[in-house]
Structure 1
Amino acid sequence: MENASPARILVVGLDRYGMRACVRLGLDVTVVCGAAAWDQGSIAIPDEVRVIRVDDHTSAESVLMALSRSGLDSESFDAVYTTAEGSLVMVGLLAAHLGLPAVPPEVAVRFRDKSVQKREIRAAGLATAGAVVVDDIHDVGGIAELGTAKAVLKPVAGAATERTSAVSSVAELRRRSEEYRREGTTQRTFILEEFVRGEEWIADGVLFEGELLFCALGRYGDPCLASVDSGRPLNFRHYDPSGENWAYERALPVITASLAALGLRDGVFHMELFHDPETGALTFGECAARRGGALVQEVVHTKFNVDLAACAIQVALGRRPEIDVKIHPGVIGGAYLTSDAGLLLDCPSADQVMTRPGVEFVRIERPVGERTPAVSGTNHRIGQFMVKADTAEELQQRFAEVWDWFGPQVKIVPDGLTSRGIRALQPTLRPGVRFGDALWQ
């Protein structure tokens, strides 16, 4: 009896852990890689993976044309998968076209459009922020009032708090509109949400045929918007189900009800909730039908022995993941390494960061010589690191120690400097190098 042929999977967008899982499962893997991800070059592609280059991996036209050029069609694959936020709806449509299982496009829309998402959550009787759609952020002249004392302005289908800000008046909203119009932002449809106070919790889990197989609950050190406003690097940790079971008991009913309201039955998810420490009330924030960003994959795998990427690939193939949860003692969390915007000249290496107390993993993402952009959101970073500690307080202390050590060693030429300003930085950037301009002193 001959061995069965390996399952064939189409992966849209580069995903280091997704590709690794495919290779380990012995799959026949085809990856669609967009031009931006290829040029960035930060994710190594295994030799076993077939790569199809496209202009834009979020475009159905771009992907379908590339598949056709490669001689691939509906008979070429058994499954399709993505963890790229901007490709979720497109992959739903692509899967329907190819006759493959995936999150249906109408369900994917509920996870991409924040206004639709909150409408469905509210209809299910769950608490969430009030929200109104701003059809064109470049033209807010018709908005006479916010409807709330403080609102959160964000793209209706954004990610990672990019272009997310708090506004407290119509005048402030109009100033933001003018700023985006000057910049010529391509994202034009925004949403104004009621500002919700409290701790920002996160939930990362796995669903199969409507059953919640696994859920890791945690929290950000500061709410994402607070991190953006304060400039403090994003950081997070996950709660221990044994010592902090009260949080799971409080959150799991809200998580399962929210997923049911949004119609997700299969896949992984990343949800954000707001917790009021005084009342214990939970308010739905938003949810993505994909793995969480930052170091969620690494922290969950280390803390719970659950590989979210491998689970997602198995679910995409229609297989029930075999999850063997093993709780690692102590507190484990991830954080960003940040810098000002500008030309990066030098920073500590991953090996150097690994020598700091408690650090277990480091990824330096920006190469020396690259310009770090002035990103409005939590994704502004040079790299990321994971820390182990005995307590939540010690975890925050170790984060702070790494930030305090790392920051002064970053050498960067900030954007917007004149030549005089750059010259003034020379003693810092090139210690001991003298620039003289006269022969006789």
Structure 2
Amino acid sequence: MSSRPVPTYLVLNRFDDEFGEYHRFVDPDSCRLVYLTRDYGLTVLDTEHALETVVVPDLELETVLPLAKELSERHGGFDGIVGISEWDLLTVAQLREELGVPGWRPEFVNRFRDKPRMKELVSGAGLRAPRFLELHAASTAEEVLGQVGLPIIVKPRSGAASQGVLRVDDRERLAAVLGEIDPAGYQCEEFIEGDVLHVDGVRRDSRFHFVSASAYVNNCLEFADGTPLGSVLLDEGAERDEVVAFAGACLDALGLADGPFHLELFRSAAGELVFLEVGLRPGGAEVGFIHRDLFGVDLFAESFRAALGLPPFHSPGEFVSAPGGGWVSIPEPRPLPSRIVSRTSLVDVIDEVYDEVLPEVGSVLDGSGGYEHIGGRFRLRGEGHDAVRRAALEVMDRYRLVAEPAERPGAPS
């Protein structure tokens, strides 16, 4: 804990956009901020008014722990440590534990990082989750098939954005996959046929401070394989109410009283809601932007304050309602790496497209862009779910992106 009358917070930063403007999330002079940041994140930080800013080559625990200890000693301790990114949640929890700072501990954070653990907790509360099997060195295709069946999803125990996730449809492929991966870091789960939805928001006192529900157009696994991905807000009504209530029950099972969440679920072909996974963070892609634009809620500010035990950034009465909205993400063009030759703007072409982020002509995309540095990003608003969904499909159909193969750095010419 800090020995100073004004609280001091350590912030781990890997953002380079407005969601890394942490100084906006607190009242001026109410606290002091110390940053450990990647170099590309410097432009969004208020370094002039920061207590100290340290640029780091990475945000791995072995890099930041000794620095955090030095900073803690130099500044009289920390009252809180925060990192909003999925990739920093566990590191931040470990720093809190090492430095004796209040906040979420690794055990709690792992409920939202470790896929088997989250499904255990959800299914243990009587809610439907996919059948799954934790893998080990001796796992065989026969064992997996006997307990889970086909088709099957093989995915890392922890991770995001469908990285490393595979769908397997036959025994031979399953046996090959099991031979290629480190089983200790993977699990297998039942493939659920149906639509994928997501619920986003922030909880306070075990209730929704803000919540929205959306349905994907295509899915994240397909996006990782090169298919455009979209999302459209659900209209107010019985379907949305059912989805939100199911998400709330899942979050109760996980013990989330205060904090952000991005929860994904299926609606099976039979109409059953099935838990997929959850993150202790705001949703990625355009989720933060459309929530800011359509509802007036800053999910990153709310997440930052909840993680530090501070009151909400806004009261529910300050949020506005949105008749309809969504987004579309265009994947990086294949083959990778690729250089952008041309792309078409859809603002003023499709009525529902109110903003877009397009790759610069001449820029090179190498497959590491996640949901940010990709083939195109579009934000939509319109009169209800059906209209916005039609517009999202129109974006996918009408957007033209031309790219050419580019050599990887260091490749022989």
TM-score, scaled to structure 2: 0.83
Whether contact under 8 Å (1:208, 1:320) holds in the other structure is no
324 and 298 in structure 1: CA distance in 2 versus 1, 3 angstrom threshold: farther
Instruction: Write the mapping of 1:3-402 to structure 2, written as runs, cut at 5 A.
Output: 7-15=7-15, 16-23=17-24, 25=26, 26=28, 27-34=31-38, 38=39, 44-48=44-48, 49=50, 50-59=52-61, 61-70=62-71, 72=73, 75-135=76-136, 143-146=142-145, 147-177=148-178, 180=180, 189-228=185-224, 231-240=226-235, 244-276=236-268, 278-279=270-271, 281-321=272-312, 322-338=315-331, 339-340=333-334, 341-348=336-343, 352-357=345-350, 358-364=352-358, 368-373=362-367, 381-402=374-395
Report the Cα offset of residue 86 of structure 1.
2.3
Deviation at 1:174, TM superposition (A): 3.0
1:225 to partner: Cα distance: 3.1
CA drift at 1:191: 1.0
Distance 1:390 1:128, change over 3 A: same
Do the aligned partners of residues 57 and 202 (structure 1) sit closer, same or farther apart at CA in structure 2, a change above 3 Å counting?
Answer: same
Secondary structure of 1:354's aligned partner: coil
Give the distance between the partners of 2:42 and 2:63, measured in 1 at CA. 22
TM-score (ref. length: structure 1): 0.78
- Displacement, 1:285? 0.7
Q: Percent identity among equivalent residues?
A: 24
Deviations 1:74-111 (A, max 9, x none): 83432221122122122112123333332221111111
Map Cα deviations across residues 183-212 of structure 1 (whole Å, 9 max, x no partner): xxx896111100112211111121223332
Asked if structure 1 preserves the Cα contact closer than 8 Å seen for 2:365 and 2:373, the reply is no
Which one is further off, 383-392 or 146-155?
383-392
- Consecutive unaligned residues of structure 1, counting only runs of 5 or more, are 417-421, 423-441
- Match for 1:217: what amino acid? A
Structure 2: gaps spanning 5 or more residues: none
Quote the offset at 1:122 in angstroms.
Answer: 1.6
Letter in 2 for 1:12: L
**If you compute each CA radius of gyration, which structure gives the higher value, 1 or 2?**
1
State whether residues 302 and 328 of structure 1, in contact with CA within 8 Å, keep that contact through their aligned partners in structure 2: no
Distance 1:42 1:415 in 2: 29
Assess, with a 3 A threshold, how the Cα gap between structure 1 residues 252 and 336 changes in structure 2: closer, same or farther: closer
Q: CA RMSD in A?
A: 3.3
Contact 2:20 2:44 survives alignment (8 Å): no
The count of residues paired between Structure 1 and Structure 2 equals 394
Equivalent pair of 1:155/1:190 in contact (CA under 8 Å): yes
Deviation at 1:254, TM superposition (A): 2.0
**Structure 1: distance between partners of 2:342 and 2:237:** 40
Deviation at 1:354, TM superposition (A): 3.4
Partner letter of residue 57 of structure 1?
Answer: L
- Structure-2 separation of matches of 1:272 and 1:158: 14
